[in-house]
Structures are given as C-alpha cells and as structure tokens.
Structure 1
Amino acid sequence: MINEIMLNQTVKLIDVHSTEALSDADRDTLIEKYHLTNEILDYADDENERARFEYDEITNTYLIVYNAQNENDQTTDISQRVMPISFAIKNNQLFLFTNDATHYVKDYILSAKAHLKTVSQNETWEYIFNTFDQISSDYSDQLSETDAKRNKIQRLIKKHHSSENQILELADLQDLTTYLNTAINGNLTVVKQLELISTGNIQTLHLTKAAREHLHDALIEIEQIKNQADLSSDIIDRISNTYNNILNNRTNTTMKVLTIYTIVLSIPTIVSGFYGMNMKLPLADQKWSWIFSVIITVIMMLIILWDLNRRDRL
C-alpha cells in the first residue's frame, strides 16, 4: 500500500506499507511513477538487510536501511524483535518502507513536524534525524526493561529461589541483548557514515549547521545507547557464568553428600554380611553377638565420619 502525505509545502512523505513483502503492483508504481530503481527496492524490501547507507548518483537517490524494533515485543521469535526499515530520499520526497511490525515509525515522522519550526532545504533530513532519536529512545526503553528482568533474576539467585525458568529467561535475555547489540552497532555505522559524508570529504551531502548539529546529537545518543547495551550484555553474561558456577557447586555438593551416605551406609552391610556367612566367626555363637556387631558397626561409622571431617570432606 502506498500513501502520499504532505508534511509541509515542500516535503512529501511516501508511506510504503507492506504486510510482508512489496507487491508487484506497488513495485511497478514505485518504478514508473516515482522512478526508483529495482536495486533500491530490493534493499528496501529485504527483511534481512543489514543497516546501510547508499547513494545512487544516476537517480540522485539516497537510501538508508535502519534497524527498528518490532512493534509486537511479545513475539516468541527473538530474532524478529529487531527488523530493518528503509528511508529513501529523492528530491523533496521522503520514502518510508515498513511492514506491519514497523509501521509505527510513520508516526515518528509525523510527530517530528512539531519539532521543525522553520522550513529549510534540509528539512527532509531533519525528519529522518528526528526519527533516529525516537528509535534510539525505543532501544533505551528496551534495555531498561531488560535490566529490570535481569535484576529480578539476580535477586532470585541470591535468595536461592532460582529454577529452570530463570535459566531459560536468562538465556532469552542473552539472545535478546545480542540482537539488540547487533542492531545498534549497525545503526551507529549508518549515522557515522552520514556524519562523514556531511563533511563533504567523500560525497556531497549539504546540510545546514542546525542539521549537522542534530546529526551529531543523534550520533552521541546512539553511542550512549551502544554503551548501555554493551554494559547490559556484559552484566548478563557475568550473571550467567555466576549462575553456572552456583549450579555446578550445588551438583558437587549433592554428589559429595551422596558419596558420604554411600560410604557410611555400606559399613552395616559389610559387617552384617560377615556375620551372615556360613562359617565360624569370633563370638558368633553368643547370645549378645548381635549387640557386638552393632557396636562394631557404629564404631566403624564414627571412625569414617571423623576421618572425613578431619580431611575437610564434610
């Protein structure tokens, strides 16, 4: 579905919303009416495309692939929690390519209109930079939520209330932070490319002073998000290692106790086995011989327990 929205007198938003992939009809319209190339549409339509910045000199079209979060944050497939969206700029037309899970980004562009007080030649880029800020804020909220879940698991571990559910939740958090880290690093690369190009050293991307400052602020913001993601990922890894050590220690303690029980309880079996044999044994024909065997058994058990305690095995 393709919708045209006038953001102001000069900038037009072309909202390209697909349920899954671009339909043939939408692709034909984008090529014939808006003169976008198949290469740009292939990049924009690929749900596995990495974050990137491209410039087509022939059609004078900029393409930005950026990572945004899935609107359905309860999806069971963690790999789908982060999905690419695409921006294309051609003349004064801003193209936004999204699907059902990322269509909320259109609202970010529309809400950015309130932050743009004056019309400038770089206002199209300002809409994109404002959207970058909103997406970075989403990542910050997601990381804060991840930290809250991590702290909950950490408290349960300290109280010895951990279970298999905590292990699975911790594994999910590790997977989620890995995907978030990858997405944030990709976005950071794109913003760095834009800042480098805006200096005019590689390609021509003329931005006003205000737009360059906004781009620089967006870069600082995403660098802070990256540091937050790195810290969160590192802490989760440390908790996971600590959890594994605790589980290993519990297993070792259980095996040690079972071994001690096995050793101690084998003594009565040995003693009674001797007196149950069909052969002449000392004091076996006395009435109080069973008391004697019990005394021997208890003495041997106490000796074993004392020796284990002496060796710090208990």
Structure 2
Amino acid sequence: MIETVKKFKKFTWYHVSNLTTEDNQILVDEHHLTNEIVGYAVDHNEAVRMEYDDAADESLMVIDVISYRDDIVETRPIGILFAHGDLYTFSHSVTDYVQAVILDPKNRQRRGDDSEISAIDFIMTGLYSLMTRYVDQVTEINRKRRVIQSQLGHHKRTTKQMNDLLRLQTQMIYIQNSLANNQVMLNAFKQDFKSKIAHFEIEHIDDVRVEVGQAEHMADLAMAVINSVSDAYGNLSNRDLNWTMKVLTVYSIVLTVPTIVSGFYGENVKWLPYAATQDGWWITLVITLILMALVSLILALSGFFRK
C-alpha cells in the first residue's frame, strides 16, 4: 500500500507498506522510481547500507530497526529513499510502526517547521526515536536476565531457564549486529551528505550516531553478562552431573559386595565358614552388611561423598 502521509513545503512523504506488484508498478510508472532501488528497499534480507543512483536521482538508506512479533524481538531492515526531491519509506508488517514514530518522534531533538524542514532532517529526528528503542530493548533484556540470575543457586536449574537464556542471547546477537551495521551506515551517510546539508542537520545526524553508540555499548555489556550467567549455569549443571555420576559410582561399588559374598556361598564349596550351620543365611547377611559398611566408610574417608 502506498500512502501519501504528509506534504511539506520542500518535499512530500510517501509511506509504502507491504509492497504489492501493483504498488511496484505505480512507483515505477507514476513516481519514476527504478525497479532496482525499489527491490533493495523492500528486501527482507537486505544488508544495512547506502545505495546511490545518481543518474536516477535516488539515494537509498537501508537501516535496521526493532521488529516485534509475538514475544520475540528481532531486527528487520526498512528502506528510506530520497528521490526526485521527495521522501519514501518502506516497511513490512512487523516494522510498520515506524511511520507513526517518524511522524511524531517525541524526543528531545527540535524538529523544524513544515515550511522549513528538509527530508534528511525530518528523517533524522525520527530515526533518533527509532534508535532509542534499542536502548529500551536492551534494558528489557537485562531485566529478564536479572530474573533468571536471581534464581541461580536458589532453585533447581531447569531446561526452561536455559532456554530463556539462549533466547536472550539470540536476541542480543540480532541487536548487536544491527547496531554495529547502523553505526557504519550512519557514518557513511554523514560523510556523503555533510557538504550538502546545514550544520544543525549534521548535529541531528550526530545525535543519532551517539544514540546508536550508546545502545551498542549497552548491548555489548549486556551480552557479556548474559554469557557469564550462561557459563555459570553450565558450570553448575556440570557440577551436578559430576555429583550424580559420583553417587552412582559409589552405589555400584557398595552393591558389588553382596554379589561377591553371595557368589562365594552359592558355589556349594565345602568348609566355607558357617555354610553348614542352621543360621548360615543370617550370618552371611551380617557379613555382607559389615563389608558394605566398611566399603562405605573407606569411600567416605576418601572424600567420595563430598559434593
């Protein structure tokens, strides 16, 4: 769907959501965009980068934003195209919220009047709010990690806790990769446009870069802590496994004694002690228990029962 969101004095903003074949044809025929640049803008797997077509007067920015799907938080690319003096944004279902954020970013950056603002400055003030969502998401991941970490050593470790940690690690990988790519792309964007835009617009670009840098630092720290907690869980699980194997080994040694004793008396060899007496059965049980206790005492003194 192609929507004319708002007309400014210097440009018109069009938002394209879930592009269809008919929409693509309209963009090519009526808006004079190239098929190649539109394809880059709507590709789900497009890498974060800048793409230029000077002949067609098209400059495409592909940048990652947070995407929300059920309880899973990932990152997905959106396309921001400056073409023929107008602005085009491209999104999909999971990133369609960017339209509302860009239109009303609610941040500390000062946005110019509709009669003065340029397409680049308009986008940068919106991107600032989109990048702050990374900080919010890293903070939320840290909160979830602290809940899991608080259970460390106090409750029995479960597969669910390990899966929750793995899910947090996966989300952080998406976030770290996206932030690093966004930072590189914004640096390239500033370098390419710094001679064409005003000083205050460069400041707004720098604000976005600083926000991405802060989120990147938080993400790196959060990932390091999550990895440490995950390693601690793994070490505790290994310790529990070692203890289990040690207990089973002790049991197998102790339970070998009855087999040995009963084996001797089951051979029907003459002159075995107490074999011919009326109370021989009970005597062999006592011998077995004494030997089992002796073996257990030796193992205990050797430290086999220490966890």
Report the TM-score when normalising by structure 1. 0.89
Distance change >3 Å, CA 227–CA 212, structure 1 → 2: same
- Once the 2 structures are TM-superposed, how far is the Cα of residue 12 of structure 1 from its aligned partner? 1.1
- 2:118 counterpart (123, 133, 141): 123
Partner Cα distance (1:179, 1:112) in 2 = 24
Tell me, what secondary structure is at the counterpart of 1:158? coil
Change (3 A) 1:112 1:237: closer
Whole-Å separation in 2 of the counterparts to 1:94 and 1:199: 18
CA change 1:232–1:113 in 2 (3 A) is closer
Preserved contact between residue 267 and residue 300 of structure 1 (Cα < 8 Å): yes
Does residue 1:167 correspond to 2:157, yes or no? no
Q: Counterparts in 2 of 1:197-276, with a 5 A limit?
A: 197-200=192-195, 206-276=196-266
Alignment of 1:27-176 (within 5 A): 27-75=24-72, 81-112=74-105, 115-118=110-113, 123-176=118-171
- Letter in structure 1 aligned against 2:304: R
Give 1:102 shift: 1.2
Decide whether the 8 Å contact of 2:9 with 2:116 is kept in 1.
Answer: no
Name the aligned partner's letter for residue 54 of structure 2. Answer: E
Unaligned runs of 5+ in 1: 201-205
3-state SS of paired residue (1:71): strand
Shift of 1:120: 7.5
Residue matched to 1:300: 291
Distance 1:270 1:303 in 2: 14
Distance in 2, Cα, partners of 1:149 & 1:199: 41
Per the alignment, do residues 311 and 50 of structure 1 end up closer, same or farther by CA in structure 2, a change over 3 Å counting? same
Write the deviation string for residues 119-141 of structure 1: whole angstroms up to 9, x where unpaired. 68662111211222111111111
d(CA) in 1 for partners of 2:2, 2:114: 25
Q: Separation in 2 of the partners of 1:66 and 1:216? A: 16
Q: In structure 2, give the amino acid aligned to 1:95.
A: Y
**Secondary structure of 1:65 counterpart:** strand
Counterpart check, 1:15 vs 2:15: yes
Q: Please report the RMSD computed on the Cα atoms of aligned residues, expressed in angstroms.
A: 2.1
Quote the Cα distance in structure 1 between the aligned partners of 2:85 and 2:116: 9
**Contact between 2:141 and 2:168, CA under 8 Å: does it hold in 1?**
yes
Alpha-carbon deviation of 1:35? 1.6
2:111–2:117 Cα contact (<8 Å) kept: no
Partner AA of 1:110 in structure 2: L
1:4 aligned to 2:31?
A: no
Q: Quick one: which amino acid aligns to residue 56 of structure 1? A: D
Distance 2:116 2:36 in 1: 27
Query: 2-side partners of 1:23 and 1:10: how far apart?
Result: 28
Write out per-residue CA displacement over residues 142-188 of structure 1, whole angstroms, 9 at most, x where no aligned residue: 11111111111112222133211112112211211111111111211
Partners of 2:94 and 2:62 lie apart in 1 by 16
C-alpha contact 1:112 1:127 (8 A) present in aligned 2: no
Change (3 A) 1:125 1:24: same
Aligned to 1:196: 191
Contact 2:10 2:117 in 1 (8 A): no
Letter paired with 1:83: R
* Residue 257 of structure 1: how far off its partner (Å): 0.6
Give 1:30 shift.
1.1
* Structure 1 counterpart of 2:210, one-letter code: I
What is the identity, as a one-letter code, of the residue corresponding to 2:269? M
Match of 1:309 among 280, 283, 300: 300
Q: Aligned pair count? A: 302
Question: What is the letter of the counterpart of residue 168 of structure 1?
Answer: N
Letter in 2 for 1:304: V
Q: Matched residues in 1 for 2:40 and 2:264: separation?
A: 83
CA distance in 2: counterparts of 1:126 and 1:297, whole angstroms: 88
Which residue identity does 2:17 align to in structure 1?
A: H
- Are the counterparts in 1 of residues 47 and 77 from structure 2 also a CA contact under 8 Å? yes
AA in 1 matched with 2:278: K
- Supply the distance in 2 between the matched residues of 1:98 and 1:230 (Cα, whole angstroms): 27
